[in-house]
């Protein structure tokens, strides 16, 4: 498909730009030439864009000197105030004139373009969506295109001072104890976090409720009672206890003193099944420092043990490596798996 650019001014400008590379440098990367003669948005790879796709089929533009250019990709210009159809563009890697934005394509989707001696404005529904100025060297109008905004995995928070910043970092680490947090900083595990030292943490300690409740060191009450226990024989009828014939049930112990137990440990060695269950997680939004984006979770029923093995991807080779490493850990502890359940 041939698209002939038939503006009365454009053939001269295009021919000059094809033979000279200096004019391309005069157009800043954040500006695009407003072209009333172009039948579509023809841009270079430097233009702000998204949704890049290989051109199929490619389009051909015939230049005034007879040469032709072929598009390589279709993209969507990052113009958030415009409808998507008005932002569809074609990439020409060898477009020497710089990126061209079609005024005709914008007007076809409800926009109004106004040119005067010094500037150009493009409005949609009485709202200015693009503005630009006229270049004193080329005498062309250049639209100022805003840079693309990239999505983030976390909510952007404005941090006012040092204490707020430390509290934010501490919460991002799931509110560990301050000693653990400082040890991790001193060990060099958080070097990618800007301006964070253990001295700053100690001077501005975060008072997180999650940290306080998650790291309680108090013992349960009444585990070391100072009251004298009443020893009853084993023949004491349980009905006497149920019917309330014996008072102070909290102070009663059935059995002989030698039979008293202070600690209970239960292990059913005859019921060892060798059963495990595995399930990989979904992809995390941000890869780890080592490049891992997934985790293989393994649960061993006999030891009630949960193991997490990081993975870079979910290919069969990487999942086999993570599974083999987790099983080897169990075998080294005498827990050889016999039956595996795979999560859905």
237 plus 312 within the same structural domain:
no
Measure the CA angle with vertex 19, ends 17 and 24; round to 5°.
35
In the prediction, which pLDDT does 273 show? 79
Q: Is residue 127 part of a domain?
A: yes
Alpha helices for the chain (secondary structure H)? 10-19, 22-25, 103-108, 162-172, 178-186, 198-203, 209-214, 238-242, 316-332
* β 275-280/339-342 pair status: parallel
Question: Peptide bond preceding 57: is omega within 30 degrees of 0, i.e. cis?
Answer: yes
10 plus 95 within the same structural domain:
yes
In the prediction, which pLDDT does 28 show? 42
237 plus 320 within the same structural domain:
no
276 plus 334 within the same structural domain:
yes
In the prediction, which pLDDT does 159 show? 54
90 plus 172 within the same structural domain:
no
Ramachandran region, residue 8 (left: φ > 0; alpha: ψ -120 to 50; beta: rest): alpha
Q: Is residue 72 part of a domain?
A: yes
Q: Is residue 263 part of a domain?
A: no
Q: Is residue 157 part of a domain?
A: no
**pTM higher than 0.75:** no
What span, in angstroms and rounded, lies between the C-alpha atoms of 148 and 315?
A: 32
66 plus 199 within the same structural domain:
no
201 plus 236 within the same structural domain:
no
Q: Is residue 187 part of a domain?
A: yes
What span, in angstroms and rounded, lies between the C-alpha atoms of 323 and 313?
A: 13
CATH number of the domain bearing residue 80: 2.40.70
95 plus 174 within the same structural domain:
no
Whether the CB-CB separation of 200 and 162 falls below 8 Å is answered with: yes
Domain span at 202? 162-207
79-103: buried (b, 16+ CB within 10 Å) or exposed (e) per residue? Answer: bebbeeebbbbbbbeebbbbbbbbb
SS3 state at 332:
helix
114 plus 47 within the same structural domain:
yes
Q: Is residue 97 part of a domain?
A: yes
200 plus 276 within the same structural domain:
no
* Cβ-based burial of 145 (10 A; exposed 0-12, middle 13-18, buried ≥19): buried
Rg (the chain; Cα; Å):
36
Ramachandran region, residue 175 (left: φ > 0; alpha: ψ -120 to 50; beta: rest): left
Q: Which two tokens stand for residue 55?
A: 């051109």
193 plus 312 within the same structural domain:
no
Question: From the first residue on, what is the mean pLDDT of each consecutive set of 10 residues in the chain (344 residues)?
Answer: 37 34 41 86 86 87 80 88 89 80 91 92 89 88 74 50 87 89 90 84 87 72 64 49 46 47 52 84 90 93 91 92 93 87 74
Q: Is residue 223 part of a domain?
A: no
Q: Which two tokens stand for residue 244?
A: 């309330």
Q: Which two tokens stand for residue 205?
A: 């300690």
6 plus 134 within the same structural domain:
yes
Q: Report the number of distinct structural domains present in the chain.
A: 4
């Amino acid at each position: 498909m041939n698209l002939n650019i038939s503006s009365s001014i454009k053939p001269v400008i295009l021919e000059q730009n094809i033979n000279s590379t200096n004019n391309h440098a005069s157009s800043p990367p954040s500006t695009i030439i407003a072209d009333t003669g172009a039948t579509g948005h023809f841009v270079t790879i430097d233009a702000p864009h998204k949704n890049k796709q290989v051109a199929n089929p490619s389009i051909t533009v015939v230049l005034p000197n007879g040469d032709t250019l072929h598009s390589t990709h279709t993209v969507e210009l990052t113009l958030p105030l415009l409808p998507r159809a008005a932002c569809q563009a074609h990439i020409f890697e060898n477009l020497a004139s710089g990126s061209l934005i079609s005024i005709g394509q914008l007007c076809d989707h409800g926009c109004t373009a106004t040119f005067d001696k010094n500037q150009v404005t493009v409005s949609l529904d009485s709202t200015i969506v693009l503005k630009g100025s006229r270049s004193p060297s080329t005498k062309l109008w250049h639209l100022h295109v805003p840079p693309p905004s990239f999505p983030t995995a976390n909510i952007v928070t404005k941090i006012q001072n040092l204490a707020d910043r430390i509290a934010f970092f501490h919460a991002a680490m799931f509110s560990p104890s301050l000693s653990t947090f400082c040890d991790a900083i001193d060990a060099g595990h958080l070097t990618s976090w800007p301006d964070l030292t253990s001295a700053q943490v100690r001077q501005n300690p975060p008072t997180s409720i999650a940290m306080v409740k998650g790291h309680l060191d108090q013992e349960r009450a009444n585990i070391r009672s100072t009251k004298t226990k009443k020893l009853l024989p084993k023949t004491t009828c349980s009905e006497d206890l149920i019917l309330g014939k014996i008072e102070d049930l909290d102070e009663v112990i059935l059995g002989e003193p030698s039979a008293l137990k202070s600690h209970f440990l239960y292990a059913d060695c005859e019921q060892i099944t060798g059963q495990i269950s595995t399930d990989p997680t979904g992809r995390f939004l941000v890869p780890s420092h080592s490049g891992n984006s997934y985790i293989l979770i393994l649960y061993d029923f006999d030891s009630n043990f949960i193991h997490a093995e990081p993975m870079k991807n979910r290919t069969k080779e990487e999942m086999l490596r993570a599974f083999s490493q987790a099983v080897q850990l169990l075998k080294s502890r005498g827990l050889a798996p016999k039956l595996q359940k795979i999560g859905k």
